[in-house]
Structure 1
Amino acid sequence: MDKPDVILTYGDKAAVYADKSLGGTGPVVVFVPGLGGVAQHFFENNSMYKNAVDAGFRAAVVGFKFPDGKALDMWSNGELLAKQISDICSYFHVPKVTIVAHSKGGVDSQAAAVHFGAYKNIDSIITLATPHWGSQLADIAYSSVGWAFAELIKAHSPGCFAMQTVCMREFRKITDNSPNNVAPIKTFAGNGGADELSRMYFGHLLLDKYGENDGVVTVESAHNPKGEHMGTYPYNHAQMGKGKFMWKHLEPVLKGKKAEPAVPVFAPRKISRPAHILRGGSLEKGIDESFYIDSTAERIIITVTFSGEFNHRLFSLASPSGLRKILAAKKESSGVIIYKTEILDPQPGKWRLLAAPCKGAYTAVICLMGKNTFCACPSSPAPGKVNAEMRILRTCADSYDVVAEYSFKNGNELPRAPKLKNGIYNVELNLHGELDDGSLYERTLIRPIASGGSITEFLRSRGI
């Protein structure tokens, strides 16, 4: 068996794959792919499908097709998936199947079960690194700093939009306590690393402030509130969907046993979480972006994702004293180029990220690490010297509008939330001020919200 055959088609929308020659009476396992919806994820350069068949399971793989290249949300995929599951049951002459879903496929599977009646045909849903509470990477993709880069790599889609944390909070509200939420859910999470010049590593840096993560999904988000957690393993997000890494943990669960224990079970927990400064946009006119590093930073890591023509000397960093450093570069197979540098004991003051004009777009994360850096504000801001700039965007799957902008100082009256129409909004907060030792600091906070009523609460929770 090299590759499974197409056994069911749904016009130009989807297909189901399985080995037509496969007989027997073993349990039926259905693999559901993540955001891209590509069935081949499980049987090309991945042993997952073959592992299942070799272990005596009858296996099928579902796939979704997107003629315009834009992945669909859990509602569209869930409705179609419910039909696919019913048809797979008929094909194999079984009443129920077990779902194994990677990443967003787990959300699609629960939508199919709870909201489109597929629970009648499901024994259990096993999720591998599924963002049950969304991913902050999706939040960044729909911010002003992440928009240009995400648009250039064609990340924006109804599927990506739905993975924002605010959208998934709403999904949880209408899903978790539904009377149809009866299919048992078993979850796996990853907290492993990746090559330091990779998009996965960039994701790690962005997500580190939220806790352990696999480069795309945090361990916390990979837990389903009504599910049973099987284990957290030292793999990154891509590895969590690969048979080479996960089959030994997955097979026992499919056979009703405990998962194979991880070694180590958990990555070492960080003593303190990093703080972030974010930048991003088009490089058509080049950039000379300044930012402030304060005295609490013991180490900084600057990582840039860029889509455009490769130039290994495109980005450079200038210290307050004027020293310049070229960021190391690597081009991934996807075409995205990663730039990175790391500075120990960085000089406090005004730093600059520079790049010459070219066609392309970038997103940069300046990650500040130290025992007193903290995510929102350093431990010792000078009284009355915390300032903030806030921008509110109304976002859609493929566009955004700036609906409000504010600039205010600590002690001023909080901005009154504008009258916002129903929809999804992104609140971007750039904090800056002075520590009691005189050094200037800066932090970037991004959070999507479903209405304007929670803006004031969001600000107060950040000490503004």
Structure 2
Amino acid sequence: MFKKISMTILALFLFLPSWSQAGSFGNEDPSGVPGQWYVGTTPSYVAPSKQPILFVHGLNSSSNTWWNDNNMYDTAYQNGYETAFIDLYPTKNMWDNGALLAQKIREIYNYYGEKVVVVAHSKGGIDTQSALVHYGAFPYVSRVITLSTPHHGSQLADLAYSSWAGWLAGILGSKNDATYSLQTGYMAYFRSETDQHVNVNKNPIYTFGGTKWGGFGSSLYWGGLYLWGYGSNDGAVTVNSSRLPYATELRVGDWNHFTIKEGSSTFNLFRDYLNESTVNSSGEKVQIQSSEQSTSFNTYAASYVRGGETNGKKQEKVLVEEGADSVTFDWISNCSSSRITLQDPKQTIHSSFKVKKDEGEYFNGAYHYTLTIPNPIPGEWTLQSSSSNSEKYLMNVSFESTVNDAVKVNVDEDEISFKKQDSKIKLQKETTIEYYKNGKLKESKLKLKDGTLKLPKLGEGVYNVTIDIDAEKDKKRFKRTLIKTIYVDSTGKVFVQ
């Protein structure tokens, strides 16, 4: 049994739960209407110390993410907790969702007559913090637990708005207010507006992060490969992005972005933080306080990216340096029937690509054609796509190689600079940078001077910066792509992660 509650109507939906399970929401549940919230079945006994749990979903999701193919709702019920679930806008930013969530949190507080604990997955953690800090919902919440929330944005959102991926992301519908706001540059702005706010410490925050990518060929596996150069990740969010310097990190574990929200994965790890008088497993009271955690962001050159559109045939040349341990080719397309072949420098053809449809947050609906080559032959490889129809595509080539950390790129308010890890690194003249604002080219092929580029004067907006690196180490030439975003506010102040 559960209750569905809207602003003006209180309706009760009855199902037939078994003796051991919470009320079933089932396939007939009309979840997904922004602003509606649901009350789970009340356990037979609820201890006075157990506060109700409000579950908040993430990007491109809805409330049923907590019970469809997920035992989180049932696990909470079995542990004697009252539960509520909210539907937010799946593709709107943290400001729109924050305002809506703040209003509904007040209603939920009035329904229960006490504060709730918020458990939020992915972007839901950002929407929650927006509701508490910027829209005044903090008096109605005791604490917040975030499960792989990209508190500092996602480099996959940066990629979706890049010059290389924009063709594909646009046709898939991945470009929306939510993904736009999750670009790392914009999230640097959100952090500046939030982390110094007078309300920021009103509610303790506890975080979880994941380090597993999912099965080979899955959207999370591909996402993990791309994010690899940015640090440990769960296929969608890096561990560093899941952290806040004033929050308490409860655990980083081998969950992917989907399994981290499952009841059997994490509930027992945050259960001790759900009660009014929070205690640990040994019966000692847990002091609710902040703890410092590292949120340093490293960027390694581990990928080579290209993309665009073609009328049916396309070739891409990829340079593989000597000494690379492995290279993974991932051709991402809006076509399910493309024929992909790969030719190595010795003219051998490789065609055993694994094909899988993307079910992730940023390129949902695209098709991945993925192939890993261990100990690849150095030289120029040729990837060719043939399709009977026009095709939008993104090619991401991920390298496992000692040169991945040869060059680091720093972006600050004044300039973009390349930091060479040793004196043997040589940047070629072909190294270039492009600026895009909202998908439109602003500056093209800007040249470096002594490894540094002074930022031009930029108007308000989010700027996607694509950096194509052509370099050499120990006479081994390599090419990589780095993608960053910068946000410029109305005063001209620059925000960057």
Given residue 368 of structure 1, which amino acid in structure 2 is its aligned partner?
F
Find the partner of 1:106 among 99, 102, 125: 125
CA 1:373–1:37: 2 relative to 1, 3 Å: closer
For residues 79-110 of structure 1, give each alpha carbon's deviation from its aligned partner in whole angstroms, at most 9, with x where no partner exists.
1100111000111122x111000000000000
Find the partner of 2:165 among 146, 170, 175: 146
Given residue 405 of structure 1, which amino acid in structure 2 is its aligned partner?
S
Given residue 217 of structure 1, which amino acid in structure 2 is its aligned partner?
V
1:6 equivalent in structure 2: 4
2:362 equivalent in structure 1: none
In structure 2, stretches of 5+ residues that fail to align are 10-32, 283-298, 360-364, 408-419
Work out whether 1:244 is the aligned partner of 2:234: no
Matches of residues 115-264 of structure 1 in structure 2 within 5 Å?
Answer: 115-181=134-200, 182-255=202-275, 256-258=278-280
1:328 equivalent in structure 2: 353
Work out whether 1:418 is the aligned partner of 2:416: no
Work out whether 1:406 is the aligned partner of 2:445: yes
Given residue 437 of structure 2, which amino acid in structure 1 is its aligned partner?
R
Find the partner of 1:15 among 36, 44, 51: 36
CA 1:192–1:10: 2 relative to 1, 3 Å: farther
In structure 1, stretches of 5+ residues that fail to align are 261-271, 459-464
Find the partner of 2:307 among 280, 288, 312: 280
Of all paired residues, the percent bearing the same amino acid is 28
Q: Measure how far apart 1:419 and its partner are.
A: 3.1
CA contact (8 A) 2:41 2:77 kept: no
Q: Measure how far apart 1:368 and its partner are.
A: 1.4
Q: Measure how far apart 1:330 and its partner are.
A: 2.6
2:16 equivalent in structure 1: none
Q: Measure how far apart 1:384 and its partner are.
A: 6.6
Residues of 2 paired with 1:375 and 1:446: CA distance? Answer: 17
CA contact (8 A) 2:158 2:483 kept: yes
1:354 equivalent in structure 2: 384
Provide the aligned length of Structure 1 versus Structure 2: 432
Report the 3-state secondary structure (helix = DSSP H, G, I; strand = E; otherwise coil) of the residue aligned with 1:387: coil
Report the 3-state secondary structure (helix = DSSP H, G, I; strand = E; otherwise coil) of the residue aligned with 1:84: helix
CA contact (8 A) 2:213 2:223 kept: no
Report the 3-state secondary structure (helix = DSSP H, G, I; strand = E; otherwise coil) of the residue aligned with 2:228: helix
Residues of 2 paired with 1:100 and 1:141: CA distance? Answer: 27
CA contact (8 A) 1:309 1:360 kept: no
Q: Measure how far apart 1:292 and its partner are.
A: 1.3
Given residue 450 of structure 1, which amino acid in structure 2 is its aligned partner?
Y
1:38 equivalent in structure 2: 62
CA contact (8 A) 1:190 1:214 kept: yes
Work out whether 1:367 is the aligned partner of 2:404: no
CA 1:382–1:233: 2 relative to 1, 3 Å: closer
Work out whether 1:440 is the aligned partner of 2:440: no
Residues of 1 paired with 2:372 and 2:309: CA distance? Answer: 24
2:105 equivalent in structure 1: 85
2:80 equivalent in structure 1: 56
CA 1:415–1:177: 2 relative to 1, 3 Å: closer
Report the 3-state secondary structure (helix = DSSP H, G, I; strand = E; otherwise coil) of the residue aligned with 1:41: helix
1:461 equivalent in structure 2: none
Given residue 477 of structure 2, which amino acid in structure 1 is its aligned partner?
L
CA 1:142–1:16: 2 relative to 1, 3 Å: same
2:296 equivalent in structure 1: none
CA contact (8 A) 1:300 1:343 kept: yes
Given residue 108 of structure 2, which amino acid in structure 1 is its aligned partner?
I
Given residue 72 of structure 2, which amino acid in structure 1 is its aligned partner?
M
1:391 equivalent in structure 2: 434
Given residue 201 of structure 1, which amino acid in structure 2 is its aligned partner?
Y
Q: Measure how far apart 1:9 and its partner are.
A: 4.4
CA contact (8 A) 2:315 2:384 kept: yes
CA contact (8 A) 1:385 1:409 kept: no
Given residue 27 of structure 1, which amino acid in structure 2 is its aligned partner?
Q
Q: Measure how far apart 1:21 and its partner are.
A: 6.0
1:74 equivalent in structure 2: 94
1:290 equivalent in structure 2: 317
Given residue 6 of structure 1, which amino acid in structure 2 is its aligned partner?
K
1:29 equivalent in structure 2: 53
CA contact (8 A) 1:296 1:378 kept: no
For residues 401-446 of structure 1, give each alpha carbon's deviation from its aligned partner in whole angstroms, at most 9, with x where no partner exists.
101112536648x555333211110111111144443x43211011
CA 1:408–1:104: 2 relative to 1, 3 Å: same
Residues of 2 paired with 1:259 and 1:158: CA distance? Answer: 42
CA 1:100–1:449: 2 relative to 1, 3 Å: same
CA 1:123–1:166: 2 relative to 1, 3 Å: same
For residues 277-311 of structure 1, give each alpha carbon's deviation from its aligned partner in whole angstroms, at most 9, with x where no partner exists.
01122243421111211224222111233222334
CA 1:355–1:226: 2 relative to 1, 3 Å: same
Residues of 2 paired with 1:341 and 1:112: CA distance? Answer: 43
Given residue 39 of structure 2, which amino acid in structure 1 is its aligned partner?
A
CA contact (8 A) 1:308 1:360 kept: yes
Residues of 2 paired with 1:434 and 1:333: CA distance? Answer: 35
Residues of 1 paired with 2:347 and 2:269: CA distance? Answer: 52
CA contact (8 A) 2:301 2:482 kept: no
Q: Measure how far apart 1:381 and its partner are.
A: 5.2
CA contact (8 A) 1:190 1:237 kept: yes
Report the 3-state secondary structure (helix = DSSP H, G, I; strand = E; otherwise coil) of the residue aligned with 2:203: coil
- TM-score, normalized by length of structure 1? 0.85
Residues of 2 paired with 1:78 and 1:306: CA distance? Answer: 34
Residues of 2 paired with 1:296 and 1:432: CA distance? Answer: 17
Q: Measure how far apart 1:18 and its partner are.
A: 0.9
